[in-house]
Copies of this chain bind each other. A is one copy, B any other.
Amino acid sequence: MSKAIILLSGGLDSTTVLAIAKEQGYECYALSFDYGQKQRSELESSKKIANKFEVSEHRIMKISLNDIGGSALTDNNISIPKYSDSNEIPITYVPARNTIFLSFALAWAEVIDCQNIFIGVNALDYSGYPDCRPEFIKAFEDMANLATKQSVEGDKINILTPLISWTKAQIIQKGLGLGINYSETISCYDANANGEACGECDACVLRKNGFIKAKINDPTRYQ
């Protein structure tokens, strides 16, 4: 049974990725980050989901991306914007976040002798973040295969992105087929302390439209 690390935020996409990795027969290790995000309820959500999917281990790494700032998700002086159908990279983009998350996954992978890292990036129904694009993932994988002792010793590292070219509706349909209860996942950038979604930020609107297009009743708990 091959091991896999799954980057798990507690949102719709990463939860679906965990379910897919389980379905594919991997022994799953979940990795979440307490990175100074304002939205704290996603961490609680990630714990419940990791538990439900019976991962071998769930780690929450603490890193202070709020010290670096530059994003509405981490900086208390920048408010979360409502959805706008713009081509610009939004202020919710967190500088180098996926690069940092994948780097920690790479370190942990080396220690537990694992060659597979799953990340729920999507380049279709997404916010235009540069570090969600296939060309970024490919470049990270190339770099990873020169970075570590295990890569030098001949173990190929795979960065796996099963959702990258799916619509949000397709992701939801796949996840429902795998038994996910999406009311337990939190995608909202501005959820309240009870984990209830705002319904108006980019993440909420992309998610909401996914349920509409999939013709499935939206189980999200809104404020």
Contacts and interface: CB of A to CB of B under 8 A. Distances in A.
Given A89-B152, A131-B147, A106 B111 contact: no
A165 to B, nearest CB: 17
Interface stretch (A96-104, A168-176, A202-210, A212-220): A96-104
A124 interface: no
Given A130-B151, A139-B143, A146-B136, A100 B107 contact: yes
Nearest to A140: B143
A63 interface: yes
Given A64-B61, A143-B142, A152-B130, A96 B103 contact: yes
A162 interface: no
Interface string A102-139: 01101110110000000000000000001101011001
A106 to B, nearest CB: 4
Contacts of A152: 89, 130
Contacts of A151: 130
28 contacts: A65-B107, A68-B104, A68-B108, A70-B110, A89-B149, A93-B149, A95-B110, A95-B111, A95-B149, A96-B103, A96-B107, A97-B107, A99-B103, A99-B106, A99-B144, A99-B147, A100-B100, A100-B104, A130-B146, A130-B147, A130-B149, A131-B147, A133-B146, A135-B146, A136-B146, A139-B139, A139-B146, A142-B142
Interface of A: 59, 61-65, 67-70, 89, 93-100, 103-104, 106-108, 110-111, 130-131, 133, 135-136, 139-140, 142-144, 146-149, 151-152
